[in-house]
Structure formats: C-alpha cells, structure tokens
A and B are shown apart, each in its own frame.
Chain A
C-alpha cells in the first residue's frame, strides 16, 4: 500500500533531502512506524514520548488536519497523501504579561 508523505524543509534531514517519501500503513501510527524504519528519528519529531501528536507539527491526510479526523488512529488507504507541516504559533506569554 503506497502513501505519499510530503515532508517540510525542516525535517528533510531525516529523508536525505527528499521532499516526499513513500510509506505504508493502515493508520497514521502504522505509517509513521513504517517511515521511521527507513528514516530513523522522523517519528520522534512528530510524536511525543507520551505517544501524542507533537504540538509543533500539523499532519494532514488528503488535506484534512488529522486533529479533526482520527488523530494518530486516522485510517489510511492506498493512494492517500499525507502532508506534514510545521505548525506556526507564538504570541505574548501570559506569565510575562502578569509580571508586567
């Protein structure tokens, strides 16, 4: 089962510079396990030690954010495409505001 996974610039050190790699798996978790077998370390950049999707990345299946699908248990089918992007966030820190 072939699934194309698009990798953002910041993570291409794990894919030998490749913008997209192929993987397989019935769920997103299985796909990431499969990718990690060939691109060691990639999984750890996407999933926390607690097994949750990392706050610093967005993962999309067929352009849908998996946070609005089934998260890491999102089902995958042959021909699906997966995109990984760095999430972009920031803003004033409430604790800094409180200190004045």
Chain B
C-alpha cells in the first residue's frame, strides 16, 4: 500500500497534464516512511515515450534527500498514450533505481486520469493500493 497526501496527488496530476503530450517525472521523498517532499524533475528526453531525470538536477536532489536522511520513496512518471502500467523499459530501469515504489499516471484520456502504484523487485511487478490521505485539519499541506 502506498499512502500519499492529497496535495502531492494534485501536484503530480497537474505536472502530468502540463507536460502532456510529453511524459513527466518526479520524486517523492519520505521521512520515517511518510511522504515528506515532492520534487518535480526535468525530463531531459522531452518525449511522449520516455523520461530521464536531468543529470545535474538529479545530483542536486539526490544530495538534498540524502543529507536530510530521507528515503528515495517514490519515482513517478506519466504515460501519455498507454495505461498506467510499467512498460518493459520501466521494468529494465527499475533494476538499478533506488526507489521503493513506482507511481504511474496515464494522461491518454483528457477527462479521466489513471493513477496506479507498483513495487518492481528483480523485474517482478506487483500492483499496490494507492491511498490518498486527506489534509489534516488545521495544518498546511506538506
């Protein structure tokens, strides 16, 4: 199960819609297992069929997360023509990336947005429930 605050879901959806028809990509860091910060990453491929983190930004964000003693919790990206399910490319890259969860959104429909989460371990894809956490009363969204 992957729990994400509503504010982060909103940010990811807006990011995916904004970058459509190209894929978007980003990171959710976590502290003690709870999502703490979201980083919208630049997709250097600027492509409808692929993403790659901008290498300079990734170095900076990696250092930031590492020094804050946070975890590389979620890598998210969008598919713009297909379902929100890991492609063979995603599975191949999952073997070397440090993230615990893969979150995919599909922007193929202008009306409905599909958001699904997976763990990919040794190439084995397992879907998991996405639970959206409502903002807590009296606190600002993270």
Interface residue ranges, A against B (CB under 8 Å): 8-10, 56-58, 60, 63, 65, 67, 83, 85-94, 96-97
Contacts and interface: CB of A to CB of B under 8 A. Distances in A.
B49 A90 contact: no
Interface in B61-98: 62, 75, 77, 79-82, 86-90, 93-94, 96-98
Contacts of B88: 93, 96
B93 to A, nearest CB: 5
Contacts, number: 90
Nearest to A100: B82
B46 to A, nearest CB: 11
Contact of B58 (A85, A90, A91): A85
Contacts of B52: 87-89
Contact of B49 (A9, A57, A92): A92
B82 A90 contact: no
Nearest to B47: A91
B58 A94 contact: no
A83 B75 CA distance: 21
